[in-house]
Each structure stands twice: as C-alpha cells, then as structure tokens.
Structure 1
Amino acid sequence: MDGGGRFLRSLRARFFAPLSLARPHDSRSFAFASALPLDAPFPDANFSRAPETPRAAPTWTERRTHLLARTGVGSFALIFAFGATLALGLVQSGDYREFVARNGAPYDTLARLLGFPIDSVTISGELRLHENEILAATGLDAHSSLLFLDAAETRRRLLQIPLVQSARVLKLYPNRLVIAIEERQPAALWQREGRVKVISTDGTTIADLNDPRFLGLPFVVGPGAEKRLPEYTALLRDLGELATRVRAGALVSGRRWSLIMTNGVEVKLPEVDPGAAVGVLVRLQRESRILDKDVRSIDLRLADRVAVRLTEQGAETRENAVAKRKAPKAGAHT
C-alpha cells in the first residue's frame, strides 16, 4: 500500500498475466454487491435473483478454441501442420532426397521437433563386440527419432550379428534407448575347406580365426562337425587326461569320429557307442602305452578286436624282431 492508501501491483504481473479462453461468467451478483453501501446488511439466503437467460450450446469453433488452449495441444498441431507442409513442398520441388540425406526422414524430423530425439543410447552385455559395431547394426544415426523407432526391427538386426545370441531393445521416452545383448561364447574351432572358424556350442559361426586367444579351443574338422560339437566334447570328457593329447576330432562321412592325436596317430571310433571305444583306448594306454609306440592308426570300430597299423619304422622294427626270433641260435645243431 502506498502513501495514498492504494495497493501496488507489478506491471509485469499486469501485462503478462495468463489469459483464459474459458467462456465469460455472469458477473451480475458482483455488480450488485459493489452498488450496496458499505454499512448495508448483506442479503439473506431468501434473496431471489433475476432469472438468467439460458445459455446457448457452445459452437464447434468455440470447442476447437478451447481444445487448442490446452497445454501443448496447439503447439503439437502447429508443428504437425508445419511438418506436413514442409514434406509436401519438398516432394513437389524435387528436393526430397537432398532433405532426407541432410536431415533424415520427414517423420523423424517432425518427431525430433516434438521432443522425441534419441539423445542417449545405453548398451550392456557386450564383451567382444564394440559399441560401434552394435550401433551400425541397428541402423541408427543422428537423424533417428525415438518415436518412430521400430524396437522389434532393431532387435532383429542385432540378432543378425553372429556373436549376438539374444537381444532386448527398450524405448524410454522421451529420448533414451536401452540395448541389452548376450553374446555367444566361443566353444570350438571348426575347419572346412581349409578355412578355420570360431563357433559356439550350437555350431553357429562367430568369426574367422584371427585371434590367438582361441587357439586352445577344441578343434573339429569336416562338414557337419560343427553341428555335432556336443558329441565331440562328451568324448573329450570320457578321455580324461588323454584329452590333452587330442589335436582334433574329424567327422568322417558325417557318421563317425576319428581322433587325431598330437603325435599323428589316428584313433578310429565306431559310429555306434563311441564312448565305449574311448574307454578301451584309455585302458590300452594305461596297460601297454599304446599311443607311445610306433603306430599309425588304432582301429576301434569293432567291439571284439583292436586293429593297429604300424608306421614304416615300426613295421621294420617288428620284422627284424620276428626274424631274430626265427633265426637259429649260434651253435645249434641243424
């Protein structure tokens, strides 16, 4: 209150007071109250007001004006109209491709104007993959929008990466994207037609062998060997300590396994119950050190016998030994 008994009001509050588009109310009672003397008694409850004139139903224009007055609706409508006009003009002028290359698709441009860009991407679960590889697979760029991002399609693209076993894509409005992946674990090396690849447990090819860290993985050879990897790893478990002396497992004709040992010996296993044959090999090695002799191959395909093929040096040594046994001893009578 100033010195003249008046209340002060901010000029800013006066000129920048919010406007209301609501229908004007009847102010007759307020006018009546202001006309009474200050010492006049206030009308009692039995005071009857003059009958009001019935109000007409709001017109379509008034309803539209009230809708646009709601927070944000008018702005969204204006931006949408602007985007539609802009897209139509670009198509008609022939500059559409140039606009898309520079700003992205018109619907993404409109979504970014509405407040739905992709400002941050959170990636989790990557071990061997680089973030750039993941982003490149999604097809996202600086012009993408969260509003029109197809999460299912993005997940499908991620699953096309050989190293990705599972993927989840989550849109957090208004501007955040979350990607969670689970990578396949390298389980073995697979050679076919002279090329060596890293494969997972289910036989999926992960990548070409170009990392020396994978050289210690089990090694399988031949068409179809990658799909029967669990069988081969089970045989290695049955071998126990002898598994360290196995260089590779070769799938022969897609039917049976042969074990290639580190010293070059080939152990031929049967198509049926190869685990039992592995048990025979373990026993022969324990009793007679068969893998340490001059043998080229050990055939365990028949359950009732073991066929051994000697090396040339082993065969020569054996012939000499047999000849010595057959030769007559010195001084013996003929």
Structure 2
Amino acid sequence: MWQDIKMLNAIANTLIGLAMLVLLAAGIWWIAQLPMFTLKEIRVQGEGQNEVRRVNPLTIRASALPRIKGNFFTTNLDTVRTAFESVPWVRKASVQREWPNQLVVNIEEYQPLGTWDDDGHLISTKGDIFIANMDEAEEDGKLPVFSGPAGSEKDVVARLADFKNWFGPLKLTPTEVNLSSRYAWSVKLDNGMEVQLGREKNSMTLHDRANRLVEIYPQLLERLQDRIESIDMRYANGLALKASGLAIDSVSALKKKTK
C-alpha cells in the first residue's frame, strides 16, 4: 500500500479535508460563542394586528424566560415556543430569530367566550378549554356559562350564535347554554327564564321550537309579566311552563311530549 502513490495521495487529501472541516466547525463554533450573539432581547407581540392584552409580563419572566437556554444560534426555538405556550392566556406561539441577538415571539391569546362546567375552566371563542384568572376573563363583564359532554365544546359554542339570533326578536340574550348527557339542549336567557328545547332530531328541530316560543312569548309576558321561570318547548303542538307560584302543563291541547 505504501508504494501506491495514488492511494497515498487520496488518503492525504481525505485527511486534509477532514482537518479543514474540523477547523471550519471550530471556527463557526467560536464565532457563535461571541458575546455579540448573546440574547439581548426577547420581543413579545400579538399575532397579526392583535395586541397582547392579557398575557402578563411578570408571568413570562417567571415561567417562560428561565427555560430559554443558549444564544442566538444555539437556542432551541421549539423549546422557546413550548415555554411560551405554557403561560396562561397563550393559545399559540411562534418564534423566530432576529439578527444578531434577538428573538421575536408572536402570541395568539385565548379569547374568552364563557365558563365551562363548574370546575373553573374557561372556553374560548374557538371552542378551546383553558385555565386562566377568572377576574381577568370577566374584566369586560360576566361571562356566559356553558356545559356539555366531553368533545361537544365546539358544538356548544356554535349553538350560542344560533340562540342569539333566534331569541334576538325578544330582546333576550343567552346567559347559559347547556347540552345534557342525552344531548338535549337548554338555554337560560338574561331575564332569568330557562328554555328547554330538547334533542335535535333534524336541522330544523331547535329552530322551529324557538320560533314557536318567539311567536307566543308576547302573550305569555302580557299575562304572567316577569314571573316565568322556565318554558318547555319539547311538545309537538304547544309548550309547558313554570312561573312563580304557578305551573302550567300545557298552553294548548298538547299531545305526547317528544324528548
């Protein structure tokens, strides 16, 4: 082998090449460790045109920043993203480097729509369940109450918009929306009245029942004033109601209740 000049040249070239790669890597590593690349700023901003409203800078300093290691080149962006997504009110975070020593963190905050069940959870406008400070969530006013079986969150959120539209002609707004374990719907309105709408047999079932209530409600209000506590619309041709000091099984000749 030692007499094979071509092979010796090839080995020598290979060793030289490896040595140059090692030197290059060492040079890059040395440059990457220069003080100018030490992270000087982590800029947090809202996603798109949205401002960061509820994410607390003190919480970021306490829970997110201590988990960020390395400099401009060596810090792991996925680790940074995960650290910020663990902060209350952060739904989603994205991170990018900004030359030569900054990170930019774009944050999408949860937008609270209401409370979920009775366990202190909140539900967002996108149907996400999350935990955050309730006082902060209700700084713009008391939130509606939602409940339903696991996995029904987005359906319940979508139904709120329907209830607002359907009961809008009565100038009444939903304050509670409930989907029972049997998938029967009920809604409580801001006058304190609870409306039982039952199960959704087809796309028009709930809408038709709500419309019947809208049509007859002015007559009920005229007779019973603000005494109505609950109305059951799960009848084929009428309704049943409960008022303060009064219970009426039917407003018209009702047939068998459909549940």
Cα deviation code 1:68-92 (max 9, x no counterpart): xxxx979948x85xxxxxxxxxxxx
1:200 counterpart (120, 124, 127): 124
Report the Cα offset of residue 162 of structure 1.
5.1
Correspondent of 1:238 among 166, 170, 188? 166
Aligned partner of residue 230 in structure 1, secondary structure? helix
Alignment partner of 1:306 is 2:230 = no
- Cα distance in 2 between the residues matched to 1:74 and 1:268: 71
Aligned counterpart in structure 1 of residue 64 of structure 2, from 100, 118, 137 = 137
Indicate how the Cα distance of structure 1 residues 244 and 198 shifts in structure 2: closer, same or farther if over 3 A, else same: farther
Task: Answer yes or no: is the 8 Å Cα contact 1:199–1:207 preserved in 2.
Answer: no
- Answering whether residue 209 of structure 2 is matched by residue 277 of structure 1, we say yes
Q: Which amino acid aligns with 2:129?
A: T
Q: Name the SS for the 2:117 alignment partner.
A: strand
The whole-number CA distance in structure 1 between the counterparts of 2:78 and 2:107 is: 14
CA offsets 1:87-127 (integer angstroms, 9 cap, x no match): xxxxxxxxxxxxxxxxxxxxxxx954464210122211122
Contact 2:169/2:214 (8 A) holds in 1: no
Contact 2:59–2:87, Cα closer than 8 Å, also in 1: no
What amino acid is aligned across from residue 303 of structure 1 in structure 2? A
Partner of residue 178, structure 2: 250
Q: 1:13 aligns to what? A: none
The count of aligned residue pairs is: 217
For the 8 Å contact 1:122–1:178, the answer to whether it is kept is yes
Structure 2 CA distance for partners of 1:196 and 1:285, relative to 1, 3 Å: farther
Q: CA deviation at 1:254?
A: 5.0
TM-score by length of 1: 0.54
TM-score of the aligned structures, taking structure 2 as reference length = 0.67
Given that 1:236 and 1:243 are in contact with CA atoms closer than 8 Å, whether structure 2 keeps it comes out as: no
SS at match of 1:289: helix
CA–CA distance in 2 between the matches of 1:75 and 1:205?
46
Question: Which structure 2 residues correspond to residues 219-234 of structure 1 after superposition, within 5 A?
Answer: 219-224=145-150, 226-227=153-154, 228-234=156-162
> What is the CA-CA distance between 1:130 and the residue it aligns to?
2.1
The one-letter code matched in structure 2 to 1:280 is R
Counterparts of 2:247 and 2:43 in 1: how far apart (Å)?
67
Tell which has more relative contact order, 1 or 2 (C-alpha 8 A, sep 6+).
Answer: 2
CA RMSD of superposed structures (Å): 3.6
CA distance in 2, matches of 1:184, 1:218: 16
What residue ranges of structure 2 are gaps of 5+ in the alignment? 1-11, 47-51, 249-259
Write the distance in 1 (CA, Å) between the matches of 2:80 and 2:182. 37
Matched with 2:39 is 118
**CA gap 1:73/1:302 in 2 versus in 1, 3 angstroms:** same
Provide Cα deviations, 1:211-258, integer angstroms capped at 9, x if missing partner. 342433332245546442111232122210546454322322251221
Query: 1:309 aligns to what SS in structure 2?
Result: strand
Contact conserved, 2:174 with 2:187, CA < 8 A, in 1?
yes
Matches within 5 A, 1:28-177: 76=27, 111-113=32-34, 115-125=36-46, 126-135=52-61, 136-137=63-64, 139-140=66-67, 144-161=70-87, 163-177=89-103
CA distance in structure 2 between the partners assigned to 1:204 and 1:251 by the alignment = 16
> Could you give the per-residue CA deviations for residues 122-173 of structure 1, whole angstroms, max 9, x where no partner exists?
21112210234335325456x6312211112322333344522332211123
Identical pairs, percent: 25
Using a 3 Å threshold, how does the CA distance of structure 1 residues 315 and 302 change in structure 2: closer, same or farther? Answer: closer
The structure richer in strand per residue is 2
Q: Distance in 1 between matches of 2:86 and 2:244?
A: 48
One-letter code of the match for 2:122? V
- Residue 233 of structure 2 aligns with an amino acid whose one-letter code is L
Q: 1:237 to 1:217 in 2, by over 3 A?
A: farther
Q: Does 2:114 correspond to 1:188?
A: yes
Q: Secondary structure at the match of 2:64?
A: helix
Correspondence for 1:215: 141
Give the residue type in structure 2 aligned to 1:179.
Answer: V
| The structure with more radius of gyration | 1
